[in-house]
Amino acid sequence: MLNFTVEEYKERTLNTRNKMSELGLDVLIVTDPANMNYLTGFDGWSFYVHQCLIVMADREQPIWVGRGQDANAAKLTTWLDEGNIRAYTDDYVHSLVKHPMEFVADIIIEKGYDKKTIATEMDAYYYTAKCQERLEAKLPNARFKDGNLLVSWIKIIKSDAEIEYMRRAARIVEKGMQTAYDSIDEGVRQCDAAAKVYQALISGTEEYGGDYASIIPLMPAGVRTSTPHLSWTDEPYKNGDTVILELAGNYKRYHCPLSRTLIIGEAPQKVKDLAAVVVEGLTEALEFVKPGVTCEEVERVWAKSIEKSGFIKDSRIGYSMGLNYPPDWGEHTASLRPGDKTVLKPNMTFHMIPGIWLDDCGVDISESFRVTEEGYEAFTGFPRKLLVK
């Protein structure tokens, strides 16, 4: 049931262990669900309880640690030997007297790493202050460091197999976006259109089905388009409504996000003007993409393009993305913004989303792309324009 070859998982783990050795780390405790998946294949909706990988710089296989009832998921979805799948009993779950990280600490003691240098993902979504507190209390002779994003920076360059999964996710999001366009109309309830979009994204294509994305379909309408992270209501669409659609196809946990803006009826001139500025800037920034340029240089092309328009965007225009779990498909590494000097390399993947939100409306048009040997590959071919219904 592995999504990649054992050799690819071993190479990912080796790259992680080499980076650990370079940084003087003996143990890395990985709690980010995407990083757990990247290194072992583990895939389960179990991140609401504490789980992790114990990666040791001098051992080939990590140790998976999780809730007892999730141990079979580790056996089914990972390349790990059964002896490296360690489950804690259910009395650790939401307990006031014991904590799963104490179980993790016991394994570290058992393996002889309790006086070593241990890194944790201190800013991961599902790693809490209590996790760190209990580890440090149980391992008083260890030296703790922050290993946040160590694995994330390794996975920023995708393998060819990963790229193929993202291309499949692209076909799925194209279907979802077309479904949104076909479903949204005056008098239709927003929630009914959203239900059809969800169905399209999960049913996927005839060749392959979709998975759940890390972010729900963001589908604000009317004045709610003045902010980026709202979704649908149960109100009907009205003539003249602007609708922002930020969707993502997902295949085997690999995302392809895509945003478009739709107008029901005649678009206000302000929205038309804003959309033209966004499309022009997005296209010029994409055409600048190639190996060797930096993230901030890409953003500078966008900024120069919109400078003449009078519109202002004071947030980043994109970010590295790919494999992930809720609540975000971004990798939290490279961003297309001033000051980010990350150098683009082939098979890095980004979501470029230079949306602009005003007081009473907004326009959001994006592209997900791969850095190629000479430029970029847009994952989707959906029309890059303001959509009018």
Q: What is the C-alpha to C-alpha distance for residues 211 and 205, in angstroms, rounded to an integer?
A: 12
Q: What is the C-alpha to C-alpha distance for residues 51 and 357, in angstroms, rounded to an integer?
A: 38
Average pLDDT over residues 28-56: 98
In this predicted structure, the answer to whether residue 310 has a pLDDT above a threshold of 90 is: no
In this predicted structure, the answer to whether residue 253 has a pLDDT above a threshold of 90 is: yes
Which architecture characterizes domain 6-154 according to CATH? 3-Layer(aba) Sandwich (3.40)
The values of phi and psi at residue 194, to 5°, are -60, -40
9 contacts 62 by C-beta, under 8 angstroms: no
143 contacts 118 by C-beta, under 8 angstroms: yes
pLDDT digits (tens, 9 = 90+) for 255-264: 999 999 999 9
Average pLDDT over residues 327-344: 98
The values of phi and psi at residue 333, to 5°, are -115, -100
366 contacts 282 by C-beta, under 8 angstroms: yes
What is the Cα 174 distance to its own chain's centre?
18
- Quick check: helix, strand or coil at residue 28? strand
**Domain boundaries, given as residue ranges, for the chain:** 6-154, 160-388
Q: What is the C-alpha to C-alpha distance for residues 117 and 28, in angstroms, rounded to an integer?
A: 9
pLDDT digits (tens, 9 = 90+) for 264-285: 998 889 899 999 999 999 999 9
In this predicted structure, the answer to whether residue 7 has a pLDDT above a threshold of 90 is: yes
Q: What is the C-alpha to C-alpha distance for residues 164 and 169, in angstroms, rounded to an integer?
A: 9
Average pLDDT over residues 55-78: 98
Order of strands across the sheet that contains 117-120: 85-88, 63-67, 52-56, 27-30, 117-120, 143-146
- Exposed, middle or buried by CB within 10 Å (0-12, 13-18, 19+), for 381? exposed
- Quick check: helix, strand or coil at residue 216? coil
Percent of the chain with pLDDT over 70: 100
Same fold flag, 6-154 and 160-388: no
- Pairing type for strands 63-67 and 85-88 reads parallel
pLDDT value of position 351: 98
pLDDT value of position 47: 97
Q: Which residues pair with 55 in a beta bridge?
A: 28
Query: What is 160-388's CATH topology?
Result: Creatine Amidinohydrolase (3.90.230)
pLDDT digits (tens, 9 = 90+) for 186-225: 999 999 999 999 999 999 999 999 999 999 999 999 999 9
Average pLDDT over residues 347-359: 93
Average pLDDT over residues 2-24: 98
The amino acid occupying position 149 is: L
pLDDT value of position 212: 98
Largest CA distance in the chain: 69
